[in-house]
Structure 1
């Protein structure tokens, strides 16, 4: 885990005070590309992600969550009682060591502990600190508690997901937990570049709601232009047609589907011919996207009738071969064997202290000169307490013993 020489972020030191998904994914990416990341948590108030499925062997175990493992691979793990004065002093010492602090406590909590940015930068003016929360650190919604599903609702995703004649279905899972870190990471790297040039630190306040709204920029811009409120319309697209997810033949009783998207008249004709429907391929009213959208019900029925008698894999192969964007709707069983993910070595097997081995996702970015990689499984609770305190902070054995006996390291 210490072999970071030549990595894109070699030498970067990060204190990770975040939890669940939105914050830890930022530190995870930094660790993949060579940063040394110290992850602080508590064994008393156990981090929520440690209690979330899926689990190794299907049995809930705070050391066996695949979600926690994926978000925290490559980090050093330190357990601290942050409510204690001694634990807060350890954090201050880690801040003095670190270049970056990432945190996701409820807005105002760090200030109550004297660990907020304004307090910390008094002793470390070049500190770069990033806070991530649902609605930001100030304003009337700042104290709103919740996870990414709440952020998804406030951003507008929940309203837009589903069919026009039914209630909203909502996106699966805490959607903005995965949108926010992407924008946050770019901003954080920009702050580090600014510090390199000027010596100045920065404070970054990431609101999941704002990150989600940015992701819906076209819909927001449309409303600003003429007052149009975006509505849900199932799997249809405002521009492309046909565009949807269609049922395929099931061989084991499980529902199977294939997604198809037609972008222009050439792809439409290729799809129609693949379905042996020259009558559709040659129709003048279907040569434009507008015409195909007007006939959406008819075209979707034709595509569904054709896919229903075929295996999803066969539909995918035939349509891709004809130049039509198509892919089977991947299930959890399909995912590990996906040829594209295998080609890019996206799933990585790592030694695990409790379960022998575990699997995590690889980096989301491929860099040619400095490729990233997960270097170790996520830490067990307190796994690196001694290493962090002695090697990184230089505490002697007596001081570590006092912290241990006083139950600060828990």
Structure 2
């Protein structure tokens, strides 16, 4: 794509006709970009001097701030129109409310209460528009003890538990690269807004709604596996940073012969592949593993550390490209540890059109393309980021035209119903990334029927934390967290009658989901072309790791390999350390929100048109969309530096025994100096350039003060002074010391017929002040009779006959 100005590149998209007023700062800038890709008309409202995001580095080469900010302007404000309004002026406030009357949604990230004080908050906005969706994204949400705490990406990542897990034991915890707390907050904001939009459109939850997103809770979702809350509540253990320690069961990164790094994982629960890997080691004369034990998934999981030295020796024999190709040929989960330049040179991504090129400011830019592909309503990079006020006259002129009639939907459900009630999903997802997506639908009222099989048990039923007195495939803590509120049926999809019943389930459903590699559903006769013959308006989403086309289309991976491939390992950490990246399988918890948004956008489109469609979401491309401006910068010939916990824009900025502290202005530096009893610092190193030039000395002064204090006391002292700070929370903090997470986000779930309490993540957004109730994940096949007999109408004799034939296994 080539263009020299900001005209719309591609009209349409599943959200065509939706207007969003984007007042968000850096905390939720990605939300507006994502909604624009999906077809919404996103109007970014800036103050007369421009959004502060325009002044963040890095800049276009040989340029300075303003239009040339690669970081938060050219990247995050793409797909938006630009409008200048002074909301501190009466005329500006009046114009905003007139715009709100024509909009479907507002997104803002102001400190709680600020928009209300301006007369522009939720109550004022819904007075002029009784159907408005009002979304807020803040560090700690609109309620709770930390509501008014100052925060940014570092603070939210620290408070979420995500930061504590990253890095080496003798280093400070590593903040994820490319501001992942901001990304998670934005992803949750878009998905939650679309939940409310679909509920409004369908009449299940009509009217205006307030959607409150806490970045702390959004980022905490990514700890669901590596620091599953039940590890502490059942066993009293706190997961630690392990770096590349050989005894670490989670190690997946190894250096290759050419000095490059590889992510190498042998899939648990696949005996033939595991045996093939052990045979490879024997072929290379590296090790011998006789006996049958290694085909048992539980044995594999318990003895993974024993394999690390052998994988390291194998990697040392091969260049990265050779090991990547050979490992995937053997169907092992082997992925290169890429940086942004590697991604731009990758043949698979180029063939798939994973990047977009356009002209702006007299030069060509390369940015990441949307990760989803819709068969009916394509998502697209629609326009470059606007010049300051570029569309002000155009947008305000719309106010002088008669508004299009707005259809009011009448409630079709009981009061306090959930927005996605009367939606059903035939859910073929397994592992973590897929089930985490369908769980969002289940939480908000959809009937999600998980289709599984005893002949191929979902690995996450088996591998993961179990209760202290032992467990089973029905008591895994991670499985419960990913599959709460769902129903479960078992079907043998290698049996013709199993396929027939699967199609009958599809006939009774609105959505079909799967995350199998390649054409697995097609080979069962359950591909999109097969299923729309059964249900013409079906919406189907497939979520393979590398997509359905391109040289890597048959390649598989877990989340650690997706992180490595996508560049999320090489843009963080300390420069002298190996690229360990984000310790949790982060993409498994970010990609689901892309999937949720894509499906909800397709549902909205179907409500308007009656047409279903097919959606492909490659997990690797979803992860690449979390790199922020790294692709833009790499295309200019520069790689983002690995800064540890430091920042290009703020100083000091880091973790100090282990409280995260970020100073964003000279005034905050004065406040910090007073709070730590060092008033001499207030005048010394006052300017940001001086603090950067003496960052080692600055860090040493702060570290000396924090080392003598409890981290919670440090955070409260600095927050009382107006300085952004938060404890770098570990799992014990999250489950017992944090007064909000421990009581409002990590919730107990149980059932009457067993004595197990599962600690489970609630949804990280509150719609109208509440989160959906949680129901324990289903036992395998628990709902066979309810689904096959009550829903699909099998007679008792037919059901018993199919049971005897082994169809329900």
- Length-normalised TM-score, structure 1: 0.92
For 1:215, what is the secondary structure of its paired residue?
Answer: coil
Tell me if the contact between 1:31 and 1:374 (Cα under 8 Å) persists in the aligned partners. no
Distance 1:405 1:317, change over 3 A: same
Structure 2: runs of 5 or more not aligned? 1-413
Looking at structure 1, the residues matched to 499 and 754 of structure 2 have their Cα atoms a distance apart, in angstroms, of 30
Alpha-carbon distance in structure 2 between the residues aligned to 1:244 and 1:277? 19
Q: State the partner residue of 1:83.
A: 494
How many residues are aligned here?
395
Q: Where in structure 2 are the equivalents of 1:27-106 lying within 5 Å?
A: 27-57=438-468, 59=470, 61-106=472-517
Q: How does 1:126-145 map to 2 (within 5 A)?
A: 126-145=537-556
Query: Is 2:791 the partner of 1:380?
Result: no
Does structure 1 residue 263 correspond to structure 2 residue 664? yes
Structure 1: distance between partners of 2:488 and 2:756:
18
Residue matched to 2:258: none
> Is the counterpart of residue 358 in structure 1 residue 765 in structure 2?
no
Structure 1 residue 280 corresponds to structure 2 residue 681: yes
CA shift at 1:97, angstroms?
A: 0.6
Residues 1:232 and 2:632 are matched in the alignment: no
> 1:299/1:60 Cα in 2 relative to 1: closer, same or farther (>3 Å)?
farther
Partner residue in 2 for 1:162: 573
Give the superposition deviation at 1:372. 4.4
Q: Please tell me whether the aligned partners of residues 13 and 98 of structure 1 are also in contact (alpha carbons under 8 angstroms).
A: yes
Partner of 2:651: 241
**Is 1:294 aligned with 2:693?**
yes
Q: Which 10-residue stretch deviates more, 378-387 or 274-283?
A: 274-283
2:729 to 309, 312, 330: 330
User: Is the contact made by 2:503 and 2:534 (CA closer than 8 Å) also made in structure 1?
Assistant: no
What is the RMSD of the two structures over their aligned residues, measured on CA atoms? 1.9
Aligned to 1:19: 430
Matched, 1:120 2:120: no
Aligned pair in 2 of structure 1 residues 156, 60: CA closer, same or farther (>3 Å)? farther
1:193 & 1:260 partners in 2: Cα distance? 42
C-alpha displacement of 1:227: 2.0
Matched, 1:341 2:751: no
Matches of 2:555 and 2:469, distance apart in 1: 33
Q: Is the 8 A contact 1:7 1:372 kept in 2?
A: no
CA drift at 1:354: 3.9
1:150 Cα deviation from its structure 2 partner: 0.9
Deviations 1:213-251 (A, max 9, x none): 111122222223x2211232211122111111112xxxx
Q: CA deviation at 1:82?
A: 1.5
In the alignment, is the contact (CA less than 8 A) between 1:82 and 1:88 conserved in 2?
A: yes
2:427/2:449 contact within 8 Å kept: yes
Q: 1:29 to 1:4 in 2, by over 3 A?
A: farther
Corresponding position: 1:367 with 2:767: yes
Distance in 2, matches of 1:47 and 1:4, equals 37
Partner Cα separation in structure 2 for residue 175 and residue 396 of structure 1 = 45
Change (3 A) 1:135 1:265: same
Paired with 2:708 and 2:683, the residues of 1 have a C-alpha distance of 24
Separation in structure 2 between the aligned mates of residue 227 and residue 148 of structure 1, nearest angstrom: 28
Q: CA deviation at 1:60?
A: 5.3
5+ residue gaps, structure 1, are 248-256
Contact 1:131 1:206 in 2 (8 A): yes
Q: Does 1:311 align with 2:721?
A: no
Q: What's the CA shift for 1:387?
A: 0.7
